[in-house]
Amino acid sequence: MFSFVGKLKRDKVSGNGPVGRIGEDAAVSYLKDKGYVIIDRNYRRRFGEIDIVAEDKGVLVFIEVKTRKSERYGSPFEAVDFRKQQKMSIVALDYISRHNKENCPARFDVVAVMLKDGTYPQIELIQDAFEVSG
């Protein structure tokens, strides 16, 4: 697991603020440090949402961020189950269609963010985590 030392290093986790938003902000900083170009955040359609749309070395990347304060309910990656993958696939296909990206290579990544009071966010990235399902 990667110990996040990016732009949020000075901001240790506190009990304040919505956990998901803190995790997404940490993930965006992490991804930018890895060379991703952030295109959109919280792309919403009536049938679902994608947390981050980015580009990585010419590939369109749809990114789900899962943030946890503990593993009491399982790891963040376990929350991206088949149902979530299906919803993300539908939203990604909508994005591709609406933005005329049909000929652009694309993939799905998942970022897990662990937040524990008094520590820096721990971030792990799985590239190409799953394929379009439907």
DSSP H or E segment with residue 91: helix 82-98
pLDDT tens, position by position, for the chain (134 residues)? 333 333 343 344 444 448 788 889 999 999 999 999 999 999 999 989 999 999 999 999 999 999 888 777 777 778 888 999 999 999 999 999 999 999 999 999 999 998 887 778 899 999 999 888 65
pLDDT for 14 equals 41
Nearest to 29 by CA among 14, 41, 19: 41
Q: Report if residue 4 sits inside a domain.
A: yes
The token pair at 9 is: 């290093």
Say if 1 falls within a structural domain.
yes
- Number of structural domains, the chain? 1
Residue 107's pLDDT is: 96
Confidence (pLDDT) at 78: 80
Residue 77: inside a domain: no
Whether residue 12 is contained in a domain is answered as yes
- Domain carrying residue 12: 1-56+85-99+116-134
Q: What's the CATH code of the domain at 50? A: 3.40.1350
Whether 25 maps to a domain, the answer reads yes
Does any domain span residue 131? Answer: yes
